[in-house]
Amino acid sequence: MTDFPKTLRLMERGRDFLGSDYAILCGAMSWVSERNLVSAISNAGGFGVIACGAMTPELLDAEITATKAMTDKPFGVNLITMHPQLFDLIAVCEKHAVGHVVLAGGIPPKGSVEAIKGGKNPAKVIVFAPTLALAKKLLRSGGDALVIEGMEAGGHIGPVSTSVLAQEFLPELSEDHLVFVAGGIGRGQAIAGYLEMGAVGVQLGTRFACAKESIAHENFKKAFFRANARDAVASVQVDARLPVIPVRALKNKGTEEFTAKQRDVAGTLDREEIEMAEAQLQIEHYWAGALRRAVIDGDVENGSLMAGQSVGMLKEEEPVADIMQKLMAQSEEALTRR
């Protein structure tokens, strides 16, 4: 802990908030962020987050129990706001006295933040916001910390880069609020930069996805190690009426299948067979299924290889603890050289 004094000082508010040694979150990754990776991250001094994704309350219950058996360090749970059983999932988190709930995938529905903060075991709420105005609103109405995530990231993305979001949000918010920066971070030098700009910590996904402790299939990991930054491309929207949130993933046959899937869903919308909300849900289910195919089954041709642009910096499988120490050392070295 005394090895990285400059970095730790800049991370102090983030560490206090998370209760971890380092203010480095491993962002929730569906199918990847389960008990093994989450406990490894927290045991290595970072902050692991379980990806609830489309899990039922029973499955989430079992996952939290299993994670607790593998670490006594704090970890969080990421819930997708459009999950039809969101409030039951919040109750499961409360039952386990989970300290931090991350609400992802859209504006938190009415009452959800209150439910997380109001029960017998109130948790802290971490929110995402694509614009400064929404960030201020969410922080006013109960959000305890904010993650800003740029379009370099893997998975669902917004249209703006991390460096621009950081310049927009940090000067306005960092004095009074806790802001973590995500998207495109592969090395500690970048962490040092965002900390100096006022972030209290960072969130990484891609860098940890293929760690030794990650259960991702060997084929999935090999595809990551082979890939360059330019291979991690954003999906394209094919129909103006069907606003799908772009997803960044390694280019493969699945990328083309997604285009076909969108045409299918747009067709059912045309024929008025389904409503817009149902159409969007179908798209989200498609992604969840495709990601599972790649991460769990190792089908790297047809599945979805969600990855951020930092994928080009990954060359081999490393234990989480080594990655964490490397990131901290790189940040410290950068700050020392200033």
- Residues found near ligand FMN in the complex (CB under 6 A): 27-30, 32, 51, 53, 78, 104, 149, 152-155, 182-185, 203-207, 209, 306-308, 310
CB of 80 to ligand FMN, least distance (A): 7
Q: What separation in angstroms does the CA of 148 have from each of 157, 167, 168, 175, 188?
A: 11, 11, 10, 16, 18
CB of 161 to ligand FMN, least distance (A): 11
Distance CA 285, CA 88 (A): 20
216 vs 269 by CB, closer to ligand FMN: 216
Question: Which amino acid is present at 31?
Answer: W
Distance CA 33, CA 52 (A): 9
50 vs 269 by CB, closer to ligand FMN: 50
CB of 224 to ligand FMN, least distance (A): 9
Which residue's Cβ lies closest to ligand FMN?
A: 205
Distance CA 174, CA 259 (A): 39
For the chain, the straight-line distance linking the first and the last C-alpha, in angstroms and rounded, comes to 21
| Residues linked to residue 51 through DSSP beta bridges, in sequence order | 78
CB of 282 to ligand FMN, least distance (A): 17
CB of 173 to ligand FMN, least distance (A): 18
Q: Which of 317, 311, 37 is nearest to 183 (CA)?
A: 311
Q: Which of 116, 127, 121 is nearest to 89 (CA)?
A: 116
28 vs 92 by CB, closer to ligand FMN: 28
Decide: 296 and 139 in contact? Cβ < 8 Å: no
CB of 247 to ligand FMN, least distance (A): 9
269 vs 327 by CB, closer to ligand FMN: 327
269 vs 305 by CB, closer to ligand FMN: 305
* Cα of 123 vs its chain's centroid, Å: 18
Residue-wise DSSP of 156-219:
E--SS-HHHHHHHHHHHHTTTS-EEEESS--SHHHHHHHHHTT-SEEEESHHHHTSTT----HH
* Residue 139 structure tokens: 């922080």
Burial class (CB in 10 A: 0-12, 13-18, 19+), 81: middle
36 vs 206 by CB, closer to ligand FMN: 206
53 vs 143 by CB, closer to ligand FMN: 53
CB of 162 to ligand FMN, least distance (A): 8
244 vs 269 by CB, closer to ligand FMN: 244
CB of 120 to ligand FMN, least distance (A): 26
> Could you give the 3-state DSSP secondary structure of residue 142?
coil
